[in-house]
Chains A and B, each alone.
Chain A
């Protein structure tokens, strides 16, 4: 497992967390190269489908970053995320996937340091978990309807 370099998808909301990641960059704060950022308009836009899709095509972990509760640009998008992720984790557990592979954190536009800290600690926890054993389902199964 020494050479295991995880692939992590990080959904960052446009208004807070993506700006937080940007601040981490402009402030020259290091964060792991394992993180692949996908910018979304709001953490509430991250359908559980996106997270399952990421896991099913081989992501080792999925990070969802949004504005702090009360700070959502769309008033309550992040509250929806706050309700979805615990239910999604229950389902992952039932399906035999470690719930630690999915994490929700709040990172504001001024928290470049927190962005680095969250991505570092998440990457470390995924390293400890090891690779996602789902592999790439797309290759393992005959694809019929999922394209």
Chain B
């Protein structure tokens, strides 16, 4: 059997997903036996022009990590879609927008102001911002356009599979790669993870009836190592997050932040967390409820930490 051809790409991401692909450890040898990597900007020196010369659908699978924020991200997403038989949104950025997607609370100008003016280490008295075209003595230089709104991969091109996580756990990555190598892929659109249930299902902490009188931030309390973190008033996102990670964060005394995305069948992760969380507030008095809720400093940013571009509203409206 001919070896598989695999491409990996990073768009708007931190690079962690590329490292996560290497985290499969010695299994990488099995991958190397079964597949050739034909394009991987972070690891191998191939140029975009090399990809453009490949025949359409000549790549068996593309593991695409990163959200779509610039015209370059979009161009390469479309190019790789055309060249690949299977497009996999690998990691939370490609799947849901993730941390880069939080800039959807702002617009391009606000992001530029922050990055090129307001940051304390930036000295830019002439207010120079990135331009798509600039003339220099040697000719005209071009930069990709920076979009106003961050999009997910699936909002840009047709995606076959999603691999959740920020970054995906080693076993989740291998689940996808193993299926790919064996040619036993699930139905199109599947979110590839070991679990379709919530993180709580895998979490060994003791769970009782949930009633919350006060929310705490992780630095404010030393949590009981046995008891459910949510019951102790920490904003643990496990109840609204897909499992498959093995509930690693709660086991290390850190509340889940929701990186594996919504559980099966749920569209808007933030709305469902909001719904579940507010239901367990232990008060029937509107004023007290308001006081308890005021302990959550940034509800939208917390609930949509990984999924704002993929949520129903997608971005904040800037007046």
A→B interface (CB under 8 Å): 47-49, 52-53, 55-56, 69, 76, 79-80, 82-84, 86-88, 90-91, 94-97, 133-134, 137, 141-142, 144-146
Q: A87-B299, A95-B317, A96-B318 are in contact. List 14 more A-B contacts (CB 8 A).
A: A48-B272, A49-B271, A53-B312, A55-B313, A84-B275, A87-B293, A88-B274, A90-B293, A95-B300, A95-B316, A133-B317, A134-B317, A146-B267, A146-B312
Judging by beta carbons under 8 Å apart, are B317 and A144 in contact? no
Contacts of B314 in A (CB 8 A): 137, 141
Contacts of A83 in B (CB 8 A): 278-279, 281, 283, 289, 293
Using CB atoms, name the residue of chain B closest to A57: B312
Q: For chain B, what secondary structure do more than half of its interface residues adopt (helix, strand, loop), or is it mixed?
A: loop
Judging by beta carbons under 8 Å apart, are B312 and A82 in contact? no
Return 7 A-B CB contacts under 8 Å, by A number. A47-B271, A55-B313, A82-B284, A84-B275, A86-B286, A87-B278, A87-B296
Contacts of B267 in A (CB 8 A): 49, 145-146
Judging by beta carbons under 8 Å apart, are B312 and A49 in contact? yes
Give the distance in Å from the alpha carbon of A93 to the alpha carbon of B301 in the complex.
12
A32 nearest CB across to chain B (Å) = 26
Contact of B272 among A49, A144, A145 (CB under 8 A): A49
Is there a chain A Cβ closer than 8 Å to B184's Cβ? no
B318 nearest CB across to chain A (Å) = 6
Q: A82-B289, A96-B317, A142-B155 are in contact. Are A90 and B312 (CB under 8 A)?
A: no
Give per-residue flags for B138-161: 1 if the beta carbon is below 8 A from chain A beta carbons, else 0.
000000000000001011100100
Give the distance in Å from the alpha carbon of A144 to the alpha carbon of B158 in the complex.
8
Contacts of B206 in A (CB 8 A): none
Give per-residue flags for B260-302: 1 if the beta carbon is below 8 A from chain A beta carbons, else 0.
0000000110111011011101011010011001001011110
A100 nearest CB across to chain B (Å) = 14
Is there a chain A Cβ closer than 8 Å to B53's Cβ? no
Contact of B299 among A53, A94, A146 (CB under 8 A): A94
- Of the candidates A47, A49, A56, the one having the most CB atoms from chain B within 10 angstroms of its own CB is A49
Total residues of chain B contacting the partner, CB 8 A: 40
Q: For chain A, what secondary structure do more than half of its interface residues adopt (helix, strand, loop), or is it mixed?
A: helix
Is there a chain A Cβ closer than 8 Å to B9's Cβ? no
Judging by beta carbons under 8 Å apart, are B313 and A52 in contact? yes
B83 nearest CB across to chain A (Å) = 20
B→A interface (CB under 8 Å): 105, 152, 154-156, 159, 189, 267-268, 270-272, 274-275, 277-279, 281, 283-284, 286, 289-290, 293, 296, 298-301, 303, 310-319
Judging by beta carbons under 8 Å apart, are A91 and B319 in contact? no
Give the distance in Å from the alpha carbon of A82 to the alpha carbon of B282 in the complex.
12
Give the distance in Å from the alpha carbon of A48 to the alpha carbon of B300 in the complex.
13
Q: A52-B312, A144-B154 are in contact. Are A94 and B279 (CB under 8 A)?
A: no
Give the distance in Å from the alpha carbon of A94 to the alpha carbon of B272 in the complex.
17
Judging by beta carbons under 8 Å apart, are B299 and A90 in contact? yes
Judging by beta carbons under 8 Å apart, are A144 and B159 in contact? yes
Give the distance in Å from the alpha carbon of A141 to the alpha carbon of B151 in the complex.
10
Judging by beta carbons under 8 Å apart, are B312 and A94 in contact? no
A80 nearest CB across to chain B (Å) = 4
Judging by beta carbons under 8 Å apart, are B154 and A86 in contact? no
B221 nearest CB across to chain A (Å) = 21
Judging by beta carbons under 8 Å apart, are B293 and A141 in contact? no
Give the distance in Å from the alpha carbon of A97 to the alpha carbon of B318 in the complex.
9
Give the distance in Å from the alpha carbon of A91 to the alpha carbon of B308 in the complex.
12
Contact of B317 among A48, A53, A97 (CB under 8 A): A97
Judging by beta carbons under 8 Å apart, are A94 and B293 in contact? no
Using CB atoms, name the residue of chain B closest to A46: B275
Judging by beta carbons under 8 Å apart, are A84 and B286 in contact? no
Judging by beta carbons under 8 Å apart, are A94 and B316 in contact? yes
Contacts of A91 in B (CB 8 A): 270, 274, 299-300, 303
Contacts of B296 in A (CB 8 A): 87, 90
Give the distance in Å from the alpha carbon of A48 to the alpha carbon of B303 in the complex.
12
Contacts of A69 in B (CB 8 A): 284
Contact of B274 among A48, A76, A79, A96 (CB under 8 A): A48
Contacts of A90 in B (CB 8 A): 293, 296, 299-300
Contacts of B311 in A (CB 8 A): 52
